[in-house]
Structure 1
């Protein structure tokens, strides 16, 4: 439940949106939520009233776009997930070799998480439904399948292998955020072990 039952006045004056600019205000609300969730690292700590103050609008204005906090959290996380997905897709596409492409996908995801640890905590610890996260699994499955088709990974059920890989990567990234004092090895080394044990890829040759 959000604490918007007692209206708060916005922190400063805001000109009404011109006709046709409602989508711009929605984007400002989502952007403010993303910033705040990144700092809070906990969606339960977010209030629509605080988001409204950050955008200099009344709390009731937020309800024109989002019926409750969960809907806003989902929209904010969907935007962030799309950014992470784009980074992973771009990194894989830059590698002509499927094995290096899968590795680049995993490393790009980790790099994004390193820059957005609070967002990642919300993305994987929130109780809000986020069905859009399945896209990352689908893309990873396709990447694993390409490795199998190229003969650099043993043939098998690509979806099962991708699910094992996803479990290992998400768990490891979450642990690095929540338990940073553990003696973590460099992420590329750990990722290479996952790829060798779970996918069957040979370690990349040193340059």
Structure 2
């Protein structure tokens, strides 16, 4: 199924060299990369159609079908790739942060917000945007959508749990409070993207994290 709306450039991309035997996976990766480029360029998921992606890659549209059955399947691959990239960034920053659980939680939250700031169109698409596929009219299933972002959420749950275990958070339900914390971060990321002139308090991130993570401000300085 192809979304209609913002038209992508009609100029075809350069013809793509035929894959050698065993390189079919490279074309799949190229299709996903082209979709991401179109998203970044147009700022609108509707610019991503089978035809626009094919033009970007330099192939005929039917060449996409062995890899993706429809446009929602391409979008799902894009969203999965971006969640994996976000997860890798969060795990990387944890590897660079000291053992203080609070500093690790702040690092995770601030890295999350930075990802949203640097990639606003990708971030919006990851969390809905205009991409809400009709499951009855695509190859996707509810399971495909239900698992998106779960690894990223688990990092937040585990990091908050470490704060509780270390006596730095008074949360009695880290899983539920991690969801509340994510909602706070997500709301801030969204509002920053759409309300550019608002005079945000300089410490708004710390206020959100400290409050929603139930960090105990009476413990040793963070």
Does structure 2 retain, via aligned residues, the 8 Å contact 1:145–1:158? Answer: yes
Matched residue, 2:115: 112
Matched residue, 1:84: 86
Pair 1:155–1:114, CA change in 2 (3 A): closer
Unaligned runs of 5+ in 2: 5-9, 134-144
- 1:130, distance to aligned residue in structure 2 (A): 6.1
Matched residue, 2:77: 75
Query: How many corresponding residue pairs?
Result: 201
Does structure 1 retain, via aligned residues, the 8 Å contact 2:171–2:213? Answer: no
Matched residue, 1:2: 2
- 1:10, distance to aligned residue in structure 2 (A): 5.2
Partners of 1:170 and 1:12 in 2: how far apart? 39
Unaligned runs of 5+ in 1: none
The secondary structure found in structure 1 opposite 2:149 is: helix
Are 2:188 and 1:172 equivalent residues in the alignment? yes
Normalised TM-score (structure 2) = 0.83
Q: What does 1:1-207 align with in structure 2 at a 5 Å threshold? A: 1-2=1-2, 11-95=13-97, 96-124=99-127, 125=129, 126-128=131-133, 129=145, 131-186=147-202, 189-201=203-215
Partners of 1:183 and 1:92 in 2: how far apart? 30
Partners of 1:185 and 1:119 in 2: how far apart? 26
